[in-house]
Structures are given as structure tokens and as C-alpha cells.
Amino acid sequence: MKLQVNASQTWPQISPVGLSGLLVRFGDKLDPVANTAAIACRAGLEAENWPEVAETASALASVILRIDLAVHDEAALMRRLASWLAARNWTDVALPEGRKLWSIPAVFGGVYGPQLAEVAGLGGVSEAQTIEDVSETRLRVLALGFAPGQPYLGFLPERWDIPRQTGVTGQVPGGAIVLAVRQIVLFAGASPTGWRQIAQTSFQCCQPGSAEPLPLRPGDEVRFVPIAEEDFEKPVWSEAIL
């Protein structure tokens, strides 16, 4: 996937978001290259510290720059941003420094993962192999969204490109670990979902009042460490700088 700024290539694309800011898109679907570019782009723009930009945030394959376009010159900003983007090869950028590797204990199956068997069947493997695939994959925090601090994590092996449910589970608890389309979502709070729950952790994605209320950041990596049900209430997670 080539991410180049010229007349013959599509990506990146810049577009205004009403009068709220500018959106940079690196693809029209989730892709490891596009996600890396989005995370690196956001870090680069934060380092630029343009005075017109009040805030930035990265999504799965895009970055938004919050700018008051009723006050600032939209055309001039788009030209400056296009020039900045064109100076970089977005197919070969590095993720920002200071990322963390999180080891998070989780209970798989049983009451904590009521759909583990169903997911294993969809993947064509045993429950044990499902747990192994998930726990041995270092999952990147692709983006935060839907709820404060809630991560979308990827990518699992290709056999886990399974569809979402056709219906909706009325509610999964905070800490639920759900799976679909080669991704994991770790729920920040109780919520309905169309994804299947395979495990649960007591790790809190949103920790109000702490020095770092949203501990996970795009570009971080997560390993889920299987633990026994009796250890659910007393896990110890760890973090290390990558």
C-alpha cells in the first residue's frame, strides 16, 4: 500500500471537518501500514506544535487536527499540511518513541469468557489454541474510541478474521475482552456489543483521578496473560518501555 502525495496516488487525503478542523486519512480501511502512518503522523504534528492546532487525535487510519476554521485560513493550513505530508514516506515511518508494552492478566472462558467456545469454532481450532493465539500475540493499540480510554487492539492471526455477531449482546462488563475481524476490544465499561466475549480482566482502561487517567495510548502493545478464575480479583499487570 503506497501512501504518497501526488496526482496519481490517493493517500494521504486532507479534508475539512466542518469548521472544527482538518482530517488526514491514510486509507479507506484498516491496514497495518495506514495505522502506523496515522500514529506517526499524530506524533509528528504534536512535535510541530502549530499554534492554530488546539488538539490532535489518531483513529484507525486517520488523524484529526482540531482547528477553529472560522478563525484560521483553511486554504493556507491545507497547503501547509500537504507540504508537510509530502516531505515524508508514509510507507516507511516508525512508531513514536516512549511506547509501552503492557502485560495484562485475564481469565479466559467460563463466566468471564462465555463465548470462547463459539469463537474457537468459528476459527476452526480448539479453545486452548484460541487462548494461545490471543495470549501469544503482542497486540498494538490501534486507536482509542467508543468510550474513554477504550482500545482497539490488533492484529490477530488471519484465522481470526471472523465476523461480528448478527445480533447484539445486551451488555458485557467493563474489562470484557471481545473478538472480531482480527481485533480485540477491551471494554472500558459495561456496554452492549456485537463482538463475542472470550475473556475478562480487572484492568481499568479509564482511571479517573490518577496521574495518567488513560493509561493505554495508540502505538502501545498489549499481551494478555491467562490466569485462573480465583486470581481475577488480585491480578498484577506490568508495563515496560519498548
Query: Does residue 3 form part of some domain?
Result: no
Distinct helix (H) and strand (E) counts, the chain = 4, 14
Pair 183, 233 in one domain: yes
CATH number of the domain residue 28 falls in: 3.30.1360.40
- The residue whose grid cell reads 468471564 is 112
CATH number of the domain residue 121 falls in: 2.40.100.10
Query: Does residue 94 form part of some domain?
Result: no
For position 237, what pLDDT does the model report? 84
Query: Does residue 176 form part of some domain?
Result: yes
For position 9, what pLDDT does the model report? 54
Task: Going residue by residue through the chain, which has 242 residues, state the pLDDT in tens, using 9 for 90 and above.
Answer: 334 444 445 899 999 999 999 999 999 999 999 999 999 999 999 999 999 999 999 999 999 999 999 999 999 999 999 999 999 999 999 999 999 999 999 999 999 999 999 999 999 999 999 999 999 999 999 999 999 999 999 999 999 999 999 999 999 999 999 999 999 999 999 999 999 999 999 999 999 988 899 999 999 999 999 999 999 988 788 889 98
For position 143, what pLDDT does the model report? 98
Please identify, among 63, 86, 109, the residue that sits at the C-terminal boundary of a domain.
Answer: 86
- The residue whose grid cell reads 502506523 is 36
Pair 166, 122 in one domain: yes
- The residue whose grid cell reads 451488555 is 171
Pair 144, 173 in one domain: yes
Q: How many distinct structural domains can be found in the chain?
A: 2
